[in-house]
Chains A and B, each alone.
Chain A
């Protein structure tokens, strides 16, 4: 494993489409549920322990080499919102494109061949981590970080929130990101049936509302 490969994969500048997704923050900002650093932190913490944990488990499972079709079906079952399923598959395709150009190899080729319409993003993330020589914990860390990094960046853009305060939110969440990654990886080692399924009602409810907005800045 190379620690630098993890930095390349986790970098917000990695061209895999994440910059156009707010992780539900755009809807939460509009509803007034995210309005400052404190409410951003509560939003991110909740997202980390729900959608983040679930994504981290799937990513760790894929990095461990669990059956990809079972993982993708598990991701579908954990994503009741069709808008979020579509976003996850689209981001999966976008990550696949970047990953195959960055770390070409048979694992990613096989995944692309098996899922021509795209697999869920965390599944692609796990296979990408493997292709980059990274392990399941690394994949889980990436997923956990993405779960909160996206909303934090989006909130800076949407609210003009002080970027230092937004980054401080992420830093305060770091120990919990580590916990989530460890928990997700331990579960993935038990197999697909043991993967976390933590969910967040408001993320599911607002995702469909957001998808129907005529004017929005973020894709989800």
Chain B
């Protein structure tokens, strides 16, 4: 029996969390923020949810002037379910004027036989700041991957800033493991930093080793794109970039 669940978060400028609604497997906890003036929410335990046919969603609103960090206690594991339909996981993030969101979940692991569609839609006010990390791991250790389609759409002031869809695994269109896309790498990820000050002075494009790159986008934002043999190697690249671009 597939399930539907939508969890909701809202953060206020005074450090409060006026909305914090867990739902089904999506359990939200207020946790202690490392930085003063920030709120922090951790998605705990049941992130290993999306089974075939499940429809999960998290809606997050960072209100004007608020600062919120969202992370997770463990990796999200996409698993095959009895329902052959793909599972869906929707993340809808809104960040208001002069507000900041650090969205730093653990990896998404696409287990053999699973089929998951992730959709992350971000709406940013012109003065909003965002740090967003996404990591996809193709299969648990040593197993072939499931099918994963992940779309990331970021709009700023109503205009598109970044729009990308990654599709891997047996149900994806062909060539995903060829020399243009992954070439045998089993972990891939991105770190997006939206910073209004980049409008004046964007970071310069540069390779981060052989399998990652830092690129300034067409708007005030920088994206790190990386592929790696495994989740650990990927995290090392993205952690180094995070520490450089947007330390907490």
Contact = CB atoms under 8 A, between A and B. Distances in A.
Interface in A58-73: 73
Interface in A103-135: none
Interface string A48-88: 11110100000000000000000001101111111101000
Contacts, number: 134
Interface stretch (B26-34, B110-118, B160-168): B160-168
A141 interface: no
A201 B163 contact: no
Interface size grouping (class) on chain A: 35 or more
Contacts of B176: 46, 49
Interface in A198-219: 198-205, 207-209, 211-212
Nearest to B136: A201
Contacts of A198: 165-167, 173
Given A43-B175, A43-B180, A201 B226 contact: yes
A201 B152 CA distance: 13
Contacts of B166: 198-199, 201
A28 interface: yes
Contacts of A212: 207
A74 B178 contact: no
A93 interface: no
A165 B160 CA distance: 41
Given A39-B179, A43-B180, A47-B175, 5 more contacts: A50-B180, A77-B161, A82-B216, A201-B188, A204-B225
Interface of B: 151, 153-154, 159-167, 172-183, 188, 205-207, 210-213, 215-218, 223, 225-227
17 contacts: A42-B177, A42-B178, A46-B174, A47-B180, A49-B173, A74-B163, A77-B154, A79-B218, A82-B216, A197-B163, A198-B165, A201-B181, A201-B227, A202-B182, A205-B227, A208-B213, A209-B210
